[in-house]
Amino acid sequence: MSLKVLFLYPNYYGMNMLPPAIALLSAVLKQDNHDIRLFDTTYYSSDFGSDSDGTKVDRLNVIPFNNAGSYIPEMHKTSWKDDIKDLVESYQPDLIAMSCTEDMWELGLAIIEKVEDYIIKRQTHVLVGGVFATFAPEIAIRHRLINSVCVGEGENAIRTLCKRIESGESYNDVTNLWVKGKDGAVSKNSMSDPVDVNAMPMMDIDIFEKQRLYRPMAGRWYKMFPVETIRGCPYKCTFCNSPSQIKIYDAKTDESYFRKRRMDLVYDELKHFKERFGVEYNYFWADTFLAITEKEFDEFCEMYSDIKTPFWMQTRAETLTDYKVRKLSEVGLHRFSVGIEHGNEAFREKILDRRWKNESIIEALKIPHRYGVQFTCNNIVGFPTETRELAMETIELNRHIQADSQNLNGFVPFHGTPLRKMAENLGLIDPDTITKCLTDDAMLDMPQFTSKEISGLIKCFVLYVKFPKNRWKDIRKAEEDTPEGKKILEELKDEYREKYMPKKTNGNSEEIPAAADLEYGVDLH
Say whether both 129 and 229 belong to one domain.
Answer: no
Neighbours of 50 (CB within 10 A): 16
Determine the average pLDDT of the residues in 423-435.
97
Mean pLDDT of 175-187: 97
**Sequential DSSP letters for 441-466:** -----BTTB-HHHHHHHHHHHHHHHH
Q: Taking 70 as the threshold, does the pLDDT of residue 331 lie above it?
A: yes
Mean pLDDT score of the chain: 91
Of the pLDDT bands very low, low, confident and very high (cuts 50, 70, 90), residue 519 is: very low
For residue 215, the domain's CATH number is 3.20.20.70
Q: 229 and 378: one domain?
A: yes
What count of other Cβ atoms lies within 10 Å of the Cβ of residue 23?
22
- Would 379 be classed as within a structural domain? yes
- Say what the pLDDT of residue 243 is: 87
* Dihedral of alpha carbons 173, 431, 131, 13, sign: positive
| Helix or strand (DSSP H, E) at 355 | none
Same domain as 240, residue 344: yes
Q: From CA 51, how far away is CA 439, in angstroms rounded? A: 8
Reported confidence tier of residue 16, pLDDT bands at 50, 70, 90: confident
DSSP state of 377: E
Number of domains in the chain: 3
Give the pLDDT band of residue 53 (cuts 50, 70, 90). low
Angstrom distance (rounded) from CA 481 to CA 483: 7
Please choose, from the candidates 63, 14, 67, 65, the residue with its C-alpha nearest in 3D space to the C-alpha of residue 493.
63
Give the pLDDT of residue 60: 67
Same domain assignment for residues 302 and 268: yes
Helices (H) and strands (E) in the chain, counts: 19, 16
- DSSP H or E segment with residue 390: helix 388-399
- Cα–Cα distances (Å) from 353 to 48, 249, 288, 289, 486, in that order, read 33, 21, 15, 19, 37
Instruction: Measure the CA angle with vertex 202, ends 200 and 204; round to 5°.
Output: 120
Residue 519 lies in a domain: no
Q: What is the mean pLDDT of residues 42-68?
A: 64
Three-class DSSP labels, 241-310: CHHHHHHHHHHHCCCCCCEECCHHHHHHHHHHHHHHHCCCEEEECCCCCCCCCHHHHHHHHHHHCCCCCC
Ramachandran sector of residue 347 (left: φ over 0; alpha: ψ -120 to 50; beta: rest): alpha
**In b/e form, how buried is each residue of 260-281, taking b as 16+ CB within 10 angstroms?**
bbebebbbebbeebbeeeebbb
Q: Are residues 214 and 97 in the same domain?
A: no
User: Residue 326 belongs to what H/E stretch?
Assistant: helix 322-331
Does the pTM surpass 0.85? The reply is: yes
490 shares a domain with 430:
no
The torsion angles phi and psi of 142, rounded to 5 degrees, stand at -70, -30
CB 266 within 8 A of CB 226: no
State how far Cα 490 lies from the chain centre: 30
Question: Do 355 and 486 fall within a single domain?
Answer: no
The secondary structure of residue 435, as a DSSP letter, is P
For residue 507, tell me if it sits in a domain.
no
Quick check: helix, strand or coil at residue 51? coil
Question: Which residues on neighbouring strands pair with residue 98, listed in sequence order?
Answer: 8, 128
Is 487 in the same domain as 398? no
What percentage of residues in the chain have a pLDDT greater than 70? 90
Same domain as 238, residue 127: no
Q: Please identify, among 188, 217, 235, the residue that sits at the C-terminal boundary of a domain.
A: 188
Same-domain status, 327 and 181: no
**What is the number of alpha carbons within 13 Å of residue 46 lying toward its C-beta?**
24
199 domain-assigned? no
Q: Is 340 helix (H, G, I), strand (E, B) or coil?
A: strand
Which are the contacts of 300, defined by CB distance < 8 A and separation ≥ 6?
Answer: 229, 263, 266, 292
User: Given 136, 158, 188, which residue is the final one in a domain?
Assistant: 188
pLDDT of residue 523: 33
The CATH number linked to 107 is 3.40.50.2300
Note whether residue 509 is domain-resident.
no
Domain that holds residue 485: 470-500
Is pLDDT above 80 for 253?
Answer: no
Ranges 59-68, 191-200, 380-389: which has the least confidence: 59-68
Please check whether residue 290 lies inside any domain of the structure.
yes
From 420, 444, 466, the end of a domain falls on 466
Q: Is the pLDDT of residue 66 over 60?
A: no
First-last CA distance in the chain: 28
Q: Are residues 443 and 496 in the same domain?
A: no
pLDDT confidence of residue 518: 31
Q: Decide if pLDDT at 507 tops 90.
A: no
Higher pLDDT: 99 or 509? It is 99
- Looking at 332-387, list the stretches that DSSP marks H as alpha helix, in order from N- to C-terminal side: 345-352, 358-364
Interval 40-51 mean pLDDT? 79
d(CA 146, CA 180): 8
* One domain, residues 376 and 243: yes
